[in-house]
Structure 1
Amino acid sequence: MRFLHTLTGLVAIAIAGSVAPAAAQDREEPPSQCRAIAQALPGVIFASAAASENPLNAPEAVTITFEGHSTYVIETPAGVRIATDFSGFHGADPVPRVVTMNRAHSSHYTLSPDARIEVVLPGWNPDGPEPAEHRVVVDDVYIRNVTTDIRSWETGGMIPDANSIFIFEIAGLCIGHLGHLHHELTDTHYAEIGRLDIVMVPVDGGLTLSHEGMAEITNRLRASIVLPMHLRGTRLDSFLARMEPDFAIEFLDGNSLTISVRDLPGRPTIMVPDNLYFRG
């Protein structure tokens, strides 16, 4: 079992005898372009890169592929392959270099990831009560997290900091994955997240949040591209209906999207992978 638990300026790996990958060695935390405007302004709504005078018009493109359930694979211009909410099933072939995971259900994490995966980022802290805090650079991607709580199915209460919203800063893009989000976000959460150009949103309608609650969060984040995930036991149409007419709806021809800052749509758009209905 191999976990990378990182703090600002500190890297520790939770397996005996292992060493930190070279890409994630101790280093000064880089500045976050996605949080540059996120200085805890109450009620702020962040503009996407497409809607602003963005000086980071990087021509490099990022490819994002829906693999199933809540796993998207992100491939950076430098070839770093990242799998979100990795359980060892979706997105496992070819082996990703980086995985993130959230301990809500077995379909969102694994305690025995493939030993060939270099960087494993759990959204919870497996070593204690403090929140997981990840600030990791792997080649051309900077990965950080913002923790949220999850429900306890045994007690009916909430487990603090057991989920993470992961943010991937790549080629001028701010890409967010909400994980297994179980509650509304506070102004502090929005400030910590910062601007998102692309966001992956669970649309199950109940296991995470209701469609009404998730629509409110999606509207507040105001990303240029919204990628649905985690479709279980409900119809995607209900979520899409709540998002119109403020968001355009586009059904992808396939399950992959290749995008750069220059390609972001001017109107916020929900892009639905071709096989979401069958593998959601």
Structure 2
Amino acid sequence: MADPLTEIVTLLRPRIKFSKVASGAGPWRLRKEGDGHLFYCAVVEGRCRLQVEGREALMLGVNDFVLIPAAADFTMSSLHPGAEGMALSEPVCLPSGEFRLGDLAGPANVRNLVGHCVFASPDAALLVSLLPDLVHVRGEASLATLVALVGEEARGAKPGQEVVLAHLLEVMLIEALRSAAGVGASPGLLRGLADERLAVAIRRMHEAPGRGWSVAELAREAGLSRSSFFDRFGREVGVAPMEYLLTWRMALAKGLLRRHGGGVAEVAEKVGYRSASAFSVAFTRHVGTAPARYARDVLAGV
């Protein structure tokens, strides 16, 4: 059986940008401008406040984990009265390599493992749009352990580091996303997979992307009427069923073209098109360039 969540995270190809230990002492406040990169944070000691723009503030405690797939503007602060309105604090790197906010000599009131990563996939924007815009998991020590492993590997210089980091990041993202599936995730893939009926249809799309699916056929797979399925899919996943299928097919097609550098007719068949010409029209409309040209540009490193 296909695992859509694993397939999408693997296709995103996460790569570490930085990973560090950050602590705060006394009153402090940090602001981060959204740069589109994935941000993650695991609290290993103490408590702090996270305010993502446009959302209610979150109080984070030990073993809480936060993931923002396309980082928005946010602030983090201590729980001191008035800290959320104080001047911004500048992080200072201590001799230990830890970054400190607030009082450099005082006892820490929080210690976080934080990091940013980027997605190497050229389809990142489309694929990330299928994920929730904020994940908050409470009390999962396993996630803090995974973040610690990512940080330890990132700070080393061992053979095979890039491969190990890529796999650790994939595991961390999958664990975080599946942990959040039942805790009020925003519309997206997680909400769809948490719905028993919709999950069947989503998995069938991933198992057989080359099949000539229609909304009616997918509705039958889900055991719903066509109209109920269409409305429910849009409400839970955030896009129409055929739009989701098109996004997945084009992501697969681009991956196949990148790996094999051509074979348009074969790729067309694998992703559900009866002719290379119909696939070329759809691919060009979706991607902005013809599949043969896309494959040539990939080979040329354009």
Q: With the length of structure 2 as denominator, give the TM-score of the two structures.
A: 0.23
Task: Determine which structure has more spread, i.e. the larger CA radius of gyration.
Answer: 2
More helix by share: 2
The structure in which a higher percent of residues are strand is: 1
In the superposition, the TM-score normalised over structure 1's length comes to: 0.24
